[in-house]
Amino acid sequence: MMSPDVASDLASPARDNGLIDTLRRRRLNQIASIVSSGLTVALIGYGMDGNWLLAQYLVLALASMLSCLVLNAFRKTNAATVVFLVSLTTLSSALMWVGTGINDVALLTFPAILILAALLVPPRIFFLLLGGMFCFLLFITLATHTFSWRVNGYVTSPWEDLRDSLTILTVSGLVVWLILNDLQKALHSLQTQIESLKESQENLTYLSQHDLLTGLPNRSLGRERIERAIALAERQGTSVAVMFVDLDYFKSINDTLGHAAGDEFLKQVAHRLSSTLRQSDIVSRHGGDEFVLALVDPADEAGVSAAAGGLLESLTKIFTVKDTDVSISCSIGVAMYPHDGHDYETLLRHADMAMYQAKESGRNAMRFFDAGMRTAAETDMHLMTGMRTALSRSEFVLHFQPVFNLVDGSLLGAEALVRWQHPERGLIAPAQFIPTAEKTGFIVELGAWVLREACLQAERWRKEGRSDFEIAVNLSVVQFRRGSIEDVVRHALSISGLPPHCLELEITESILVQDTEQFLVSLRGLKALGVKISIDDFGTGYSNLAYLQKFDVDKLKIDQTFVRAVLDGPKQRALVVAIVQMAQSLNLCVHAEGIESNDVGAAMQSLGCEVGQGYWYAKPITAQEFSVRYCGES
């Protein structure tokens, strides 16, 4: 029987030559022992019969078996195998020679020896042995019948023949069974390994094609399926609607409920998306909170609109995540094959552009792609490349608009406003490039440059005598989302030497309304540096003013539209009064933007607004002009 350790060795996938050698050694030991037992049985039989000639042969054969076992014990398995096979063949041949020639039962051992040889030794030795057997049988036949060199020896009784045949059969049967048993086990273990390999291959394929969190096809399988749907639509002359779905404000779920809840939520979203569409449609997770869907052969655009409407509606229904009710919306962009593109890449890019438009239109909306979007995107790309070159060629300049104390008219500082000094188009206003810089992320680089330049310039003016000079710099929401704004500000302060309290960072209400954990951390980090924070264009953003209590801001800059209208009537005036009173009650400084006349300035001051800027006092001017006008430089 095969020992359990050998069986487990066989089942182990990491079988090496060392293991096979051990196995061969053990088998040879067993086989030689079984054969020795058979020889001993025969020896006893012939001893009892008084057939000493055969008994002598058997003793010699037993001695050979012993040397085989010794060689094997010394790990000379190959030599031991050869000794084993040769001595058995010789013994059988000798028995035939002294017995009844080729009619002797000893001939029975030849096939068994050949089976063993086929399993244990290389083909060369096997064929040598086979050749040897052939030659011996030819030789004994010729020796008996042609040359009469021998006559058939002793005549055995039928019982002796039966005994010998049974011994030979039992020994060969046992040995063959042992070897075949090994083979069967090896085959079985091979089969198990093949099956487990197949299974792990299937698992790997699944893992490489699916999103582990939601179980949806991942980006690559999604692409493959959509490409197949496009190919089918091309053959059948039908259409495919590729949808780019992006969740609105998903980040706030992660920030407020934690990532585990965020994951759970995404799973539920995936389930809703899949169950809202037809079985034949495609739903895949593109990454993060983005999903790419495809409607296969939709009836018409109205059908696509209806399906997208269904998706919007299903996502706006309340989700329950970890016992908390959560509501969300999404923005969907749609590009149609063949109308908006013929390949996956183009359709996805166009659906993405349309999704962006849906977001811009106020979210929770769906937009079809149209060619205008592509032109706009191309213009953005063109402008962005231009801006990048412009930054490296120092084409951006800062203009400074002075800020005054409205009570005594003294200069408090300035707001730094960026412009692009284009070599051909002249001076370009920020309204023409800031939105694109924000959309493309370039504002992170540009904003860092603005901060550095503004701080350096303010420190120069402080050194020239304006020791209380405060510089205000506008920040974009993108700088909070993508850049490490604290590091940028810290760096600007450190290389310029400007004291932090002389730097005021202007953020808009749209930044505050993000209200994410990351934003709060950034804002706290900025405050910890000692800089001031003001809210720019106050009043144009969101009606919910709760954020004012939450964030530690220093100043409100009332938007120009309110300031300009302050003298237009009692309602307009009441609005300004309300803002000023609220700011005062929160202990915030109030700053009027866009003062275009003396009367407006006076009105704002009388309503309690302490600080202001506007064309009435001065437009934004270059640093040099500013120096001449306000820092006494000639």
CB of 302 to ligand C2E, least distance (A): 41
* Chain Cα centroid distance, residue 203: 16
3-state SS, residue 504: strand
- Residues forming contacts to Mg ion in the complex (CB under 5 A) are 474, 506, 536-537, 593
For 237, other C-beta atoms within 10 Å of its C-beta total 7
In the sheet with 282-287, reading across from the earlier edge strand, the strands are 282-287, 290-296, 240-248, 329-337, 366-368
Sign of CA dihedral 434, 436, 439, 441: negative
Does residue 504 bind ligand C2E (CB under 6 A)? no
Residue from the set 341, 594, 601, 612 that interacts with ligand C2E by CB under 6 A? 594
Q: What are phi and psi of 275, to 5 degrees?
A: -80, -15
3-state SS, residue 21: helix
- Beta-carbon contacts of 181 under 8 Å, excluding residues fewer than 6 positions away, are 2
Residue from the set 615, 628, 629, 633 that interacts with ligand C2E by CB under 6 A? 615
Window of 228-236, 282-290, 489-497, 609-617 that interacts with ligand C2E by CB under 6 A: 609-617
CB of 538 to ligand C2E, least distance (A): 10
- Interaction residues for ligand C2E, span 407-446 (CB under 6 A): 417-418, 429-431, 434, 443
How many residues bind to ligand C2E according to rule CB under 6 A?
A: 25
Decide whether 98 or 450 has the Cβ nearer to ligand C2E: 450
Decide whether 262 or 620 has the Cβ nearer to Mg ion: 620
Angstrom distance (rounded) from CA 337 to CA 316: 28
Decide whether 248 or 593 has the Cβ nearer to ligand C2E: 593
CB of 472 to Mg ion, least distance (A): 7
Window of 172-180, 209-217, 244-252, 470-478 that interacts with ligand C2E by CB under 6 A: 470-478
Decide whether 105 or 600 has the Cβ nearer to Mg ion: 600
Q: Which does 596 bind (CB under 5 to 8 A by kind): ligand C2E, Mg ion, none?
A: ligand C2E
CB of 485 to ligand C2E, least distance (A): 12
SS3 assignment for 307-349: HHHHHHHHHHCCEEECCEEECCEEEEEEEEECCCCCCHHHHHH
Q: What is the per-residue DSSP string for 189-222? A: HHHHHHHHHHHHHHHHHHHHHB-TTT-SB-HHHH
Window of 51-59, 207-215, 231-239, 468-476 that interacts with ligand C2E by CB under 6 A: 468-476
CB of 278 to ligand C2E, least distance (A): 45
CB of 492 to ligand C2E, least distance (A): 12
Tokens 């550095």 identify what position?
A: 452
Angstrom distance (rounded) from CA 419 to CA 381: 19
From 300, 454, 319, 446, select the one nearest 387 (Cα to Cα). Answer: 446
* Chain Cα centroid distance, residue 65: 63
Query: What CA–CA distances, in Å, run from 263 to 215, 259, 270, 434?
Result: 12, 6, 11, 35
Decide whether 81 or 476 has the Cβ nearer to ligand C2E: 476
CB of 298 to Mg ion, least distance (A): 46
Using CB under 6 A as the criterion, which residues of the chain lie in contact with ligand C2E when the complex forms?
Answer: 401, 417-418, 429-431, 434, 443, 447, 450, 474-476, 506, 536-537, 560, 593-596, 613-615, 620
